[in-house]
Structure 1
């Protein structure tokens, strides 16, 4: 899935994500502490296509945590990069985007700058393990200029069986 600028086939890179998914979230209780505990919680996600596939919007409902989130993904035709833009009902604001693309191996890597607990961090989102019925997403932060990364959130996506009740 490695694409040159102006290659509109990349605009369909996220087509795998369309539809309904059960999601198992695992995240660290402190995103920067490698010794922190992991918490696990379920969610349901729905993703829809926009702009003929050059954008999509997914909403994730996390009833056990009392919040919902959304990601708006936009494909920039000139740069050949995707921007991934996250927001949560907890804050009602957009977080700084991450930018990237999928490689020939089907793995997508997306990088951007953010802050966490008052510290500047480099954020990395990775999409991998993509099939018709599964996908894996993970978030990692670096505080040392990308020399080391600490994975602090993962999501395992499983395609929902039609007719399965949400939540």
Structure 2
């Protein structure tokens, strides 16, 4: 239940995001961020807000642990559109968290994968990837590397 306890607190964030998604692009952009995460429900949930100062935007993730299914649901929202995105769900195993869900990108149905690694190192890493072929192949398109503020 307390899988995300490592993330509670304040962070500086190095973001790398692919410029053009799902087009075979190799054009990555790097930009800074700051993030603060706080616990809910005695560790069975949490919320973080991330600020992207050079982009003039913010993001928010709500994470909730389903006690019966023993899995997390992660919901993302951006200040750019104010919409709560469909959740990705999954769990941690051996310090790695893998979360999957269905969404659309510019009208194309996609699978979404979030991976959390380095959760026991003090320098966690989050990565997002999309698939347009049902999960057979994945394109990584956003990486966040965290350091304690």
TM range (shorter): over 0.9
Distance in 2, matches of 1:44 and 1:86, equals: 16
The answer (yes or no) to whether the contact 2:45–2:65 under 8 Å persists in 1 is: yes
1:117 aligns with 2:106: yes
How far is the alpha carbon of 1:33 from its aligned partner? 2.1
Q: Distance in 1 between matches of 2:6 and 2:79?
A: 25
Partner of 2:123: 134
Query: RMSD over aligned Cα, in angstroms?
Result: 0.9
- Give the TM-score taking structure 1 as reference length: 0.87
Moved over 3 A (4+): none
Report how far residue 118 of structure 1 moved.
Answer: 1.1
Pick one of 24, 27, 35 that aligns with 1:34.
24
What is the CA–CA distance in structure 1 between the aligned matches of 2:123 and 2:96, rounded to whole Å?
13
Q: Equivalent residue for 1:15?
A: 5
Deviation digits for residues 83-126 of structure 1 (CA, Å, limit 9, x no counterpart) = 000000001010010000001x2110000001111100000000
Q: Is the 2:100–2:114 Cα contact (8 Å) retained in structure 1?
A: yes
Taking structure 2 as the reference length, what is the TM-score of the superposition?
A: 0.97
1:64 corresponding residue in structure 2: 54
Partner Cα distance (2:36, 2:119) in 1: 16
- Aligned-residue offset at 1:129: 1.3
Q: CA deviation at 1:35?
A: 2.0
Shift of 1:133: 2.3
Q: Structure 1, unaligned stretches of length 5 or more?
A: 1-10, 161-167
Q: Is the 8 A contact 1:54 1:74 kept in 2?
A: yes
CA distance in structure 2 between the partners assigned to 1:125 and 1:133 by the alignment? 19
Q: How many residues align?
A: 149
Which structure has the greater CA radius of gyration?
A: 1
Larger relative strand fraction? 2
**C-alpha separation in 2, matches of 1:149 and 1:46:** 29
Between the aligned partners of 2:102 and 2:55, the Cα distance in structure 1 is 26
